[in-house]
Amino acid sequence: MKHQFGLWLIVSLMSIFGVVLVSFHFHQYEQIELSSKLKNKRPLELGQTQIVKDPKTEFKIALNDPALVQAWGLKKSSAELAWTVSLGNRKITVAVIDTGCDVNHEDLKGNIVPGWNFVSNNSDVTDNHGHGTHVAGIIGAVAGNKKGVAGVAPNVSIMCLKYFDPLVPRTDNLKNTIAAISYAIDKKVDIINYSGGGTEFSELEKAAIERARKAGILFVAAAGNERSNSDKYHYYPADYGLDNIISVTAIDKETEVLPSSNYGIETVDLAAPGHNIISTLPNNTYGFLTGTSQATPFVTGAAVLLKALRPSITAQDIKKHIINTGDLVASLNGKTRTSRQLNLYKVLTVVDSDVTASGLAMNPEKNIRYSSEDFSAEQTSVAGTASDPQVSLFHLSENLGEALKNHMGPKLPRKAGLEN
């Protein structure tokens, strides 16, 4: 089994390995592979204010987060239009089963609720890797605070459930995953995001997700980074075939499925942005990561937006809306069930050809006041951290990455294919 995830580098770690870099930076992530020889040791898969009104609610959102200009995935999935309809609701809780989260991150802490660490069996969900913090930010980074980025659903409650820690060896990740799912059920969360998985079928894991199904919980799962057809070579939990699971693969700016991403017309439901996605990292930093792990939280965010608009909607209807309202794209033929990519605005407005879910007109431009600078403008430097208000985009050299990984030794995984 293998799983791809990003190597995160911050100054505190660099001092351990004798590497010196100046200041904090946005980090370019590499995909690296974690192999396991032990059964059930599942590895990690790894501005200007605008006022918008609908018939019921007036939304106010300031698109002043500096890294939004780097967030191509939000633009591609029509997030700005979607935010004219729904910003989410903090009454909706998403369980992020991952490596933990930086609960004190400047762009997350307003949306974090208490979680649990299933590795150490305590309430400390400190993220010693970065993957979970990155996923949480894609779902629900705070918007309009002039810091970092914005999540797909800026108003949401995120419960970080930690099942993996690279600093703790010999951990049964699959067992921790099952415990985390049960915990999420007990806490009555609305949605579970699982940006991970493996090739091993688990009856216990499937049963846990079936219990989540009976509790009305939507389960959004990564299709996996095995470079394979999931119809033939299954990847779990995405491929358990339950009607509350959405399996998500990753696309780039050109709407091509990434070479590393799994696909399948029977097993993969939808495609979403997953290449060089910018999001939050531990210690008030931000960076990029690539993979189905990043595509998955885009869809989770969409589910939050829709449930905020229609609180009584079922997990099955959320799934139906999301996968059937995406944009049809020829390049996705043979890659997913529907040949569609996520469109956040259509998720919220399209019920059928004649009726909208929100009552809003399908052309909302009259409700939007755009800033003079377009949302997709280029930017070479952004305000990123409290300690360094003006930091430039930083691309980690492969040689430096290799040197660090050699120093890290066997506790951290070796390199896998890097998607560019």
Catalogue the active-site residues.
98, 131, 293
What is the three-class DSSP state of 94? strand
| C-alpha Rg value of the chain to the nearest Å | 20
* 368/232 Cα distance (integer angstroms): 46
In the block, tokens 């998955």 appear at: 296
What is the three-class DSSP state of 248? strand
In the block, tokens 């937006």 appear at: 305
- Both tokens of 128, joined, read 């010693």
Helix orientation angle between 203-214 and 173-186, rounded to the nearest 10 degrees: 10
* 121/419 Cα distance (integer angstroms): 35
Amino acid at 166: P
- Cis amide bond preceding 364, omega within 30: no
Beta bridge partners of 62: 49
Beta bridge partners of 340: 328
For 376-415, letters b (16+ CB in 10 Å) and e give: eeeeeebebbeeeeebebbebeeeebeebbeebeeeebee
Amino acid at 391: V
Strand ranges (E), 118-238: 155-162, 191-194, 218-222
Beta bridge partners of 289: 277
* 48/69 Cα distance (integer angstroms): 13
DSSP for 22-86, written as a single string: SS--BB---EEE----STT-PPP---EEEEEE-SS-EEEEEE--GGGGG-HHHHHTTHHHHTTT-
Beta bridge partners of 404: none
CB neighbour class for 375 (10 Å; exposed up to 12, middle 13-18, buried from 19):
middle
